[in-house]
Every structure is written in C-alpha cells, then in structure tokens.
Amino acid sequence: MILDVIHNYTDKYKFDNNLINTLITSTINSEGRKINSINLILTDDEFLRKMKKKYFKQDVYTDVISFNLEGPNENIEGEIYISMDRIIENAKLLKSSIDMELKRIMIHGILHLIGYKDQTNSQKENMTKLENKYLAKNLKKVINH
C-alpha cells in the first residue's frame, strides 16, 4: 500500500503520518477493502472552493473532496483533499479538537472512496455512524500544534 500525505498548509501543525496511515488502513480494512494508493492533500479553503467549482459546478466552501481513480473491482486508488481552514472552523463550531475533526474528515473522505454517499438524510446518518465507529477505534493523536 502506498499512502502519501501532502502538507500544503502551514508549519503550524505537525502531522503524524504513521497515525494517519493507521487510521486510513484500519478504516479501509474494516470495510473489507484493500488500498492500491491514496494521496491525502491538506490544503486551504480557496483551493478546495476552486476545485468544487471546477469539478462539481458549485461555488461553495467544503471540508473534503474525494476522487476515485480505480476501476471497478480494483483496490482503492484515490485522492482526498482536505481544507485545514474548514477543519479549524468546524472544530470551533462543534466544540471539538482540531485533531478529532481532522480524523473525522479523513474517515469521511475514505468512506467516499469506498463508495458511501451522503446526499440523503439516511446516507448522512449512516456516514456519521460509521465516522463515529472508526473514530472510536483510532483515538491516538494525529496532529500536534
């Protein structure tokens, strides 16, 4: 398995790539899938807003965008783009830590790569349930600041 974490954001946060790798691998293995490769790109609001507009025709801020690159019945290959600006803002709004919010959004992105959707209330509830399940399994810190 290849997992690349690309930090495009700031030197303010130090990321534990081993813990990120464990979080992602554990989630995917628990879902009965295997990884070919995943690029995790940590960036900012404006970068993701431009991507959302270009690829989804929506001019809005978002916390995560996932792109599947594998073919049918192949091991997971994809990219997950995360806005650290949204992570920080959401953590404040949810009265959560930045670390916990980042892990939740990473899991959310992985679930999208696996094939889960969040378009309906039922789908959103299911994804939240799965996020909570996989967060509980991975309580170690991913970032330090």
According to the model, what pLDDT value does residue 107 have?
96
Structural domain 2-144, CATH architecture: 3-Layer(aba) Sandwich (3.40)
What is the domain partition of the chain in residue ranges? 2-144
pTM across the whole model: 0.90
Q: Which residues contact 89 (CB under 8 A, 6 or more apart)?
A: none
pLDDT > 60? residue 130: yes
Q: Which residues contact 144 (CB under 8 A, 6 or more apart)?
A: 13, 14, 16
As a whole number, mean pLDDT of residues 58-81 equals: 94
Which DSSP category does 95 fall into?
Answer: T
